[in-house]
A and B are shown apart, each in its own frame.
Chain A
Amino acid sequence: MNMKRFADRDLLTAIMLFGVSALFSVGSSSDPKDWAFPLLANYVTLGIAIAFLAKFIVSAVRKHLPDLLAMTADDRASSVDVVVFMVIVLAFLLAMFRLGFWPSALIMLIGASLYLTRERTTRNIRMAIIVPICISIVAFLVFTQVFYVPFPEAGWFAG
């Protein structure tokens, strides 16, 4: 079989649904009341996964044109942007317990805005720094002074 067929949308959908179904495979209990609901939902997921797998197999056997998940060079560059952006966000989630929520949020906002700024003109860079500072101040005032949300505090500076 052509290796390209493994990027077929039907096959990938089936694999994903099998994965979800396995993740939510039902445990044991003497009472069906505990499992009837997730069991029904899981059967639906599993049934649809089998349907997509069957569709893929039939399509491969009959040598129909596969519906491939294609990725252009532009898409690959965009994927890198998404991954870097998520890394910045995850770094923020880790840093907040050391630096405190608001300082790390400010760093995350500035870092992400600077990274996502394609045209690095002086004006754009200034915007990527000033806008996050203003947003952080407003968000800090709204969420801590009006709504009293207790955000994680800085571990490094704690006594």
Chain B
Amino acid sequence: MQTLTWSVMFWLTVGVMIGMVVGTLPGLTATMGTALLVPFTFALPTEAGIAMLGGLYVCAMFSDAIPAVLVNTPGTPAAMATAFDGHPMVHKGRGQEAIVAACFSSAIGTLFGAAAYLLLAWPLINIALKFGPPEFFWLGIFALTIIGSLAGDSILKGLAGGAIGLLISSIGISHGNEIARFTYGVPELRGGLSLVAGLIGIFAIPQVLAMVADLRRKEFIAEYKPVSGQTMATIRKVLAHPFHVVRSAVIGTFIGILPGAGSPIAALVSYNEAVRWSKDKSQYGKGDLRGVTASEIANNAAAPAAMIPLVTLGVPGSSPAAVIAGALMLRGLNPGPELFQSDGSLVFSFGWSLLFAGIVTFILGTLFAPLLVRIIKIPLRLLAPLIMLLAIIGAYAIRNNIFDVYIMLALGVFVFLIRPLGFHPGPIGLGLILGPIIEPSLVQAMYISDATSVWNVFFTGTINIILITLSVLSIVVVVWSRQRDRMLARNGAATGISHAKPDGPE
């Protein structure tokens, strides 16, 4: 319990506060924040330095929800699913509720993930080790079925959006024989598109342009009136769905353990499952609190869980975990089973610091929520140029490359132009995030299948069969519920009763 020293708690809180800034600014990722912080941690004792990095990571996974909710621009890729329901809540005057729910859900997710780290690291890692390329491929396909929930009024347009996202993600050097694809002779495209710049382009730029287009109709994003007692009321609302909370936390923890999957996939799969298990699916994408909590619980549970493969096997579960591994190595500590034996107290101290980071994040988040939500009261004429500048800085800062800014703007204008045709940014962003997970897994599995057969590699094995069944089930449920809603709407129209029509994110 070395974490409980005042020094460690102080530096943990400093890390959390820096994480608040890093997550809130689109383009600054938790990876970049932890990497920038590593040199400062050398002046601190090991426990305090690692706690500071952990605090930053955990808090960034919450604070990325702030721009996602308020201006429909995910602070990091992990908050994409949070925006699906968080931003429509703002339009309904429930911005503060959405921020408090995101904050409380993040705390629950972190506590769950940290508890798994402290208690179940070894049993969980044994399951994670069974995931090979074909399993990752099917996991990606399963996550892709979320398109059914995001497609809006046309599932075909949702599918097309997802396919466009996947195509964009395939720009650059191929994973097979390393040949250049879709680079059109532009050398900058050989390295592929920056995921962060792409997501900023898909989400932030159309939002900014929509703000400019709406200026003649409205002055602010939405009306906001502070509500007293909002925190406790929101906490009660979140806890009113205990099964939903536990399911999201379990999904987040498990996906967090899988190296390479990370918080964005955890949030998307959790959101998809929340929709699938829900009796009333019609409100998802239109401002359902459960959409925010599903995403935030999972992406925060994945953060401490991503440390489990690091401390048990020496394999980081996410990019920030890789930076933390580097920080440990620079101190002469080798993450992995060896660290458990040589410095077990540090391993557990880190687990406790992640757990406390969740609590500190909750305290700071709820304190600042009423202040943060006032962003929506900034006049659009000032807010639109400000978000544009932050988007440009964010896209540039990730690789210090101005070409990423051009790509971001081009994607943003493209998505803005196709929105009137009924396309939503969600499926395109989903394709962009899942492409880098699905394609390498597909190619690696194809290499394995050279030695055996495609059937053996892709369609045998318990995990493969479970994931294939879940994917098929997910598609069937979406098609069935859309048919049912359409039939209800038709019957309702005939009898004069109105029913919710299937629709995606606003």
Binding site for B on A (CB under 8 A): 9, 12-13, 16-17, 20, 23-24, 27, 29, 31-38, 41-42, 44-45, 48-49, 51-52, 69, 74-75, 77-79, 81-82, 85-86, 89, 92-93, 105, 108-109, 112-113, 116-118, 124, 127-128, 131-132, 135, 139, 142-143, 147-152
Question: Do B385 and A42 touch (CB < 8 A)?
Answer: no
B267: shortest Cβ distance to chain A, in Å? 22
B384 and A116 form a contact (CB under 8 A): yes
Residues in A with CB closer than 8 Å to B406 are: 93
Having A37-B439, A38-B167, A48-B163, one finds 14 other A-B pairs with CB under 8 Å, namely: A27-B181, A29-B176, A33-B446, A33-B447, A38-B181, A45-B163, A78-B213, A82-B212, A86-B413, A92-B392, A118-B215, A131-B382, A132-B385, A147-B397
- Minimum CB–CB distance from B444 to chain A (whole Å) comes to 9
Q: Known contacts A69-B421, A78-B215: does B166 contact A37 (CB below 8 Å)?
A: yes
Beta-carbon contacts under 8 Å, B194-213 to A: 209, 212-213
In the complex, chain A residues whose CB is within 8 Å of the CB of B212:
78, 81-82, 85, 116
Q: Does B443 contact A (CB under 8 A)?
A: yes
Contacts of B384 in A (CB 8 A): 85, 112, 116
Task: Evaluate contact between B381 and A128: CB separation under 8 angstroms.
Answer: yes
Contact indicator A85/B28 (Cβ below 8 Å)? no
B53 to chain A, nearest CB (A): 16
28 contacts between A and B (CB under 8 A): A16-B421, A27-B179, A27-B181, A29-B174, A29-B176, A33-B174, A33-B177, A37-B170, A37-B435, A42-B167, A44-B162, A48-B159, A52-B156, A78-B212, A78-B215, A81-B215, A82-B213, A86-B413, A89-B409, A109-B386, A112-B384, A117-B381, A127-B379, A128-B382, A131-B386, A143-B397, A148-B36, A149-B396
Taking CB atoms, residues of chain A closer than 8 Å to B162 are: 44
Q: Across the interface, which residues of A come within 8 angstroms of B170, CB to CB? A: 24, 37-38, 41
Which of A24, A117, A151 is the one whose CB lies under 8 Å from B182? A24
Q: Which of B150-169 contact A (CB under 8 A)?
A: 156-157, 159-160, 162-164, 166-167
Give chain B residues whose Cβ lies under 8 Å from the Cβ of A139. Answer: 389-390, 393
The 6 A-B pairs at the shortest CB distance, nearest first, are namely A33-B176, A116-B381, A112-B385, A41-B166, A78-B213, A34-B174
Which chain A residues lie closer than 8 Å to B416 at the CB level? Answer: 82
Known: A13-B421, A118-B216. A113 touches B382 (CB 8 A): yes
B380 beta carbon closer than 8 Å to chain A: yes
User: Counting CB contacts under 8 A, is B418 at the interface?
Assistant: yes
Does B48 belong to the interface (CB within 8 Å)? Answer: no
B389 and A105 contacting across the interface, CB-CB below 8 Å: yes
Tell me, in angstroms, the Cα distance from A33 to B173 when the chains sit together.
Answer: 12
- Most B CB contacts (10 A, CB to CB) among A37, A41, A147 go to A37
Q: How far is the CA of A41 from the CA of B421 in the complex (A)?
A: 20
Please tell me if the beta carbons of A135 and B389 are within 8 angstroms of each other in the complex: yes
Is B21 positioned at the interface, with any CB of A under 8 Å from its CB? yes
Is A74 a contact partner of B182 (Cβ separation < 8 A)?
no
Chain A CB within 8 A of B405 CB: yes
Closest chain A CB from B343 CB (angstroms): 31
CA A36 – CA B438 in complex, angstroms? Answer: 12
With A45-B167, A112-B385, A147-B397 in contact, do A37 and B438 touch (Cβ < 8 Å)?
Answer: yes
Residues of chain A with a CB closer than 8 A to B397's CB: 143, 147, 149
B442 A108 Cβ-Cβ under 8 A: no
Chain B: number of interface residues, binned into ranges: 35 or more
Interface membership of B402, Cβ < 8 A: yes
Report A-chain residues with C-beta under 8 Å of the C-beta of B375. Answer: none
Contact A108 B389 (CB under 8 A): yes
A109 touches B182 (CB 8 A): no
Residue of B nearest to A127 (CB): B382
> Taking beta carbons and an 8 Å cutoff, which residues of B are in contact with A?
21, 25, 28, 32, 36, 156-157, 159-160, 162-164, 166-167, 170, 174-177, 179, 181-182, 209, 212-217, 379-382, 384-386, 388-390, 392-393, 396-397, 400, 402, 405-406, 409, 413, 416, 418, 420-422, 431, 435, 438-439, 442-443, 446-447
A106 to B439, CA, bound (A): 42
Complex: A10 Cα to B181 Cα, angstroms: 30
Given contacts A29-B177, A128-B381, contact A89 B215 (CB under 8 A): no
- Asked if A152 and B402 sit within 8 Å, CB to CB, the answer is yes
In whole Å, how far is B446's beta carbon from the nearest beta carbon of chain A?
Answer: 5
The answer to whether B36 and A147 touch across the interface, beta carbons within 8 angstroms, is yes
- Inter-chain contact B160/A17, CB cutoff 8 Å: yes
Chain A residues near B439 (CB, 8 Å)?
Answer: 37
Alpha-carbon distance A24/B189, docked complex (angstroms):
14
Question: Which A residue's beta carbon lies closest to that of B418?
Answer: A16
Expressed in whole angstroms, the minimum distance between the Cβ of A74 and any Cβ of chain B is 6
Instruction: Give the nearest-CB partner of A118 in chain B.
Output: B215
Which residue of A has the minimal Cβ distance to B402? A152
Q: Is A9 touching B421 in the complex (CB atoms < 8 A)?
A: yes
Q: How far is the CA of A147 from the CA of B216 in the complex (A)?
A: 37
Alpha-carbon distance between A135 and B439 when the two chains are bound, in angstroms: 41
Contacts of B402 in A (CB 8 A): 93, 152
Q: Which residues of A contact B422 (CB under 8 A)?
A: 9, 13
Residues in chain B near residue A42, CB distance under 8 A: 163, 167
A103 to B179 CA separation, bound complex (whole angstroms): 41
Q: Evaluate contact between B393 and A20: CB separation under 8 angstroms.
A: no
By a CB distance below 8 angstroms, the chain B residues around A143 are: 393, 397
Q: Least Cβ distance of A35 to chain B in Å? A: 8
Q: Report the nearest A residue to B398, measured CB to CB.
A: A149
Cα distance A85–B209 in the bound complex, in angstroms: 8
Whole-angstrom distance between the Cβ of A143 and the nearest chain B Cβ: 6
- Specify the chain B residue showing the minimal Cβ separation from A21: B167
Expressed in whole angstroms, the minimum distance between the Cβ of A12 and any Cβ of chain B is 6
Residue of B nearest to A92 (CB): B392
Q: Smallest CB–CB gap between B460 and chain A, Å?
A: 20
Nearest chain A CB to B215 CB, angstrom units = 6
